Amino acid sequence: MPEGPEIRRAADALAAAVLDEPLTRVWFAFPALKPYETELTGQVIEKLETRGKALLTYFSNGHILYSHNQLYGVWRVVDAGVTPETKRDLRVRLETQQRAILLYSASDIAMLTADALATHPFLQRIGPDVLDMCVTPQQVQARLLSERFRRRLSGLLLDQAFLAGLGNYLRAEILWQAALSPQHSAATLDETQRTVLSDALLAVPRLSYHTRGAVDENHHHGALFRFKVFDREGEPCERCGHPIERTMLSSRPFFWCPYCQR
């Protein structure tokens, strides 16, 4: 499943393609959304924002399209009038004179008003977004210490109610950055460890969003995100040199260095 950084980069690409341009064609696969096709034609997309792994598309008439990619959904940007050859099922088409954005395979899609957005069950349930620059390490540490979230980090870092936008690869990379075993809970950490973890819970996803996949051969732009442990079973840990191991935690593959993640 795409994690917060991937959804945010997708939103950036969609916005660059169609933002503030009148919609010339609107198409929805689901019957419940069909009435909005005519209503949205001629409107403009004013904003696209992410909340964890959900994407919100704001139209100039006040409607908001909620979508969640879940496991299989994916957005594509194409030229106007183009329908790519694919085995995926097209769910949404929003087209301007020049470009179109297409949503494939997703099933969690709804049209909302501002009031409905404020009470949407998923959005009400998730915690602060790790890519929201207003969220601070101090706020994260307070959540770590709350009774509600005092459980093992292996499960906590997959819980969208704790922090929205985290997922499996970020779980592994954050715990490696903090040099912590996944078996810890906040209660077993000392103050320094909690501070380091709180910083990593924001810094690692933000670095991934800004730099993952970027090429910086001249190293002019600071650190780039790359996997330290995720999907690197058997390779040497760059911190201590011991082999990275793979195990299963919370029904998901987990990669770590047992030697230096204490």
Annotated catalytic, 87? no
Catalytic residue among 3, 6, 95, 173: 3
Rg (C-alpha) for the chain, rounded Å, is: 20
Annotated catalytic, 258? no
Q: Which residue has the tokens 């780039």?
A: 224
- Helix, strand, or coil (residue 73): coil
Strand extents, DSSP E, 81-161: 90-95, 99-104, 108-112
Annotated catalytic, 137? no
Catalytic residue among 49, 88, 252, 253: 252
CB 136 within 8 A of CB 194: no
Q: Where is 114: in which H helix or E strand?
A: helix 114-118
Catalytic residue among 8, 53, 194, 232: 53
Separation in Å, CA 10 to CA 5, 35, 82, 255? 9, 26, 19, 26
Annotated catalytic, 3? yes
Q: How far apart are CA 220 and CA 182, in angstroms?
A: 34
Sign of CA dihedral 248, 251, 253, 256: negative
Catalytic residue among 2, 212, 246, 253: 2
- Catalytic residue ranges: 2-3, 53, 252
